[in-house]
Structure 1
Amino acid sequence: MTDALRLLSDDATGLGRPGSSSLPPATSSHKDKLLNEMDWMQLEAALAKGSSRYDEALLTYFRAACAAGLRPCEWAKARLDWQGTRHVLVVRNAKGTNGRSHGPYRRLVWDEEDDIEHIQAWLSYVSRVLSGTTGGERLEVWTTYRRALQDRLRAVCDHLWPRRKSHLVLYSARHTFTARIKAVNGTREVAALLGHAVDDTATHHYARASKGSRRPPNLGSLPRAHIRDVQRVRVTTDKAAIPERSRSALQVP
């Protein structure tokens, strides 16, 4: 039995809630797509003192995913490389077929290590969960583990905000990352960082960064896209230019 299946032997929900089989499916209308700063403070505190073995994993996941923007399913095939003076997270695009992505892979580049520790920590979780798995079993184990994390997150959110109709999901971290990068980048680089084929996809499907109480938490430095990934993005808007501040930093071998 793998580490993941041993982890999943415990109830993921906790907090006096029934097991995951009783939780209703999260439809789009019931998903809170953006994690704001105030909610993050409450969620972070709850997970930090939580009793479930999933709480530390969820805390690490959100810190890493809000800094990297990967789809939850993409972490299983991601790797962190050291290239010269930069850390490069190599991601296999989940939607790499039928022209939905700019290519089979995307590369996220950091000059600083502010977020790298969280990403390294989360990748360590992923490695332990998938230890000893191969082929189809690997996908099955990762899918099961993600569902367990989502069930636990739902239970924590219900406990924190019992009157809310919409709740955070694992994918909320990607939306939060997107809001952050859209505030400082052109649409072409945003698309490259997200793995999109066209520069206006994020404009239609992801919210902009909000101000005040709805602004996303600042979880460290944001990555830059690899220049070759940026060049593969198809341009359809007039906001696709790479910002001057990023142009030189994008020159990654």
Structure 2
Amino acid sequence: MGELEMLLRTPNRTPETLQSYRRVMRTLENHLARRLAVGDLRHLDDRNLQLAITWHDLRPFISASTDRQYKAALMQHLREHPSEEDIDRVVMELLDPEQGISEIEHDDRLAEQRKRNLMERRGSQQRARYVSPEDWHTLITALCASSSQVGKLAAVWLASTRATGLRPCEWATARRQGVTLIVQNAKATNGRSHGPTREIFVGGLDPMQLRIIDSLLDVMAMLPEGAFVDLYNRVRDLVADVGRASLTKRSTYPTLYSARHLFAAEAKRELTRIEVAALMGHRSIASAAQNYLEGRYAQGGGALKVRASDRDMDTVRRANGSDPDLKH
């Protein structure tokens, strides 16, 4: 039996283990898809080689246990879906190199990189609330130029959210009736919102903005049942990846939610706290003040083009008592 055949020979695996490997491979496939969407690794024709390089480049940013899971899943994937022998040999050199002095030194460096990276900012700490006009333009342009199937949709999602202040997930069920955008409040449970729905008057938006919003609503209306979460995740991931690729000098990066933060800053600059809460789907007038960008970050000199309904403002006013109509 040759060396490659020995490395790829099939060990005994339980059905549960094989199922776990398939889940891990789906995650790795998602990482690869995000790289391909921004033009990375396209010069390589072999899928297994693309996957192996994706894993290899992830290694400094994942824990040792996660690294072992990826490696085991990749080995099983190669057994089930082999490439040409020469390609598989290259892949195996990435997965299972000989433990010479240089490889031991590499493992030591990898451990140090991993330790450093896992101590750095992660998750919400990397998400930008403020995005400058220049960076916003760069991001939207890069998304529209992306080869991803959801590139232009991501740009539309951001633009629509910035114009209206919706939570990004609220587009799933939003609908427009004339100049009124009817939104199901995403945080209507446990009294965190002022009611199950809110109405946003969008008649002040220019025709182009309305067409952009309508195009997003059309996509949502045509989605099969249960498909929104997958689409949302794809768009969210693409915004993150394109942001990192196109805004290399930043230490924090735009997300879908950044558009809502920019809207909040513009609303807080010119509206009362009760109007802001009604527009953004908050019950408490303190929510926007505590959790969103300050009005000094507002961009542009024009007036806000959307308005809350009198009904929603009355509901917020009753919930907050006394005199909540002060400016931020």
Is the TM-score greater than 0.5? yes
Task: Give the 3-state SS of the residue equivalent to 1:167 in structure 2.
Answer: coil
Greater per-residue helix proportion: 2
Cα offset for 1:46? 1.5
The one-letter code matched in structure 2 to 1:53 is Q
**What is aligned with 2:262?**
176
Task: Give the 3-state SS of the residue equivalent to 1:198 in structure 2.
Answer: coil
In the alignment, structure 1 residue 33 sits paired with structure 2 residue 153: no
Q: What number of residue pairs does the alignment pair up?
A: 219
Higher relative contact order (CA 8 A, sep 6+): 1
Task: Give the 3-state SS of the residue equivalent to 1:89 in structure 2.
Answer: strand
Distance 1:12 1:57, change over 3 A: farther
Tell me the distance in 1 between the aligned counterparts of 2:195 and 2:149. 36
Which 5+ residue runs of structure 1 have no aligned equivalent? 1-7, 243-253
> CA-atom RMSD, angstroms?
2.9
Tell me the distance in 2 between the aligned counterparts of 1:238 and 1:232. 14
Distance 1:218 1:154, change over 3 A: farther
Tell me the distance in 1 between the aligned counterparts of 2:324 and 2:130. 23
Distance 1:153 1:41, change over 3 A: same
Cα offset for 1:111? 2.6
Distance 1:190 1:236, change over 3 A: same
TM-score (norm 1): 0.76
Contact residue 143 and residue 151 of structure 2 kept, 8 A? yes
In the alignment, structure 1 residue 226 sits paired with structure 2 residue 309: yes
Tell me the distance in 2 between the aligned counterparts of 1:220 and 1:202. 19
Which has the greater radius of gyration?
2
TM-score (norm 2): 0.60
**What is aligned with 1:167?**
253
Tell me the distance in 2 between the aligned counterparts of 1:219 and 1:45. 23
Query: Which 10-residue stretch deviates more, 220-229 or 70-79?
Result: 220-229
Distance 1:217 1:172, change over 3 A: farther
Distance 1:219 1:126, change over 3 A: farther
In the alignment, structure 1 residue 104 sits paired with structure 2 residue 196: yes
Greater per-residue strand proportion: 1
Task: Give the 3-state SS of the residue equivalent to 2:278 in structure 1.
Answer: helix
Tell me the distance in 2 between the aligned counterparts of 1:111 and 1:68. 11
Distance 1:116 1:204, change over 3 A: same
Cα offset for 1:12? 4.1
Tell me the distance in 2 between the aligned counterparts of 1:205 and 1:161. 24
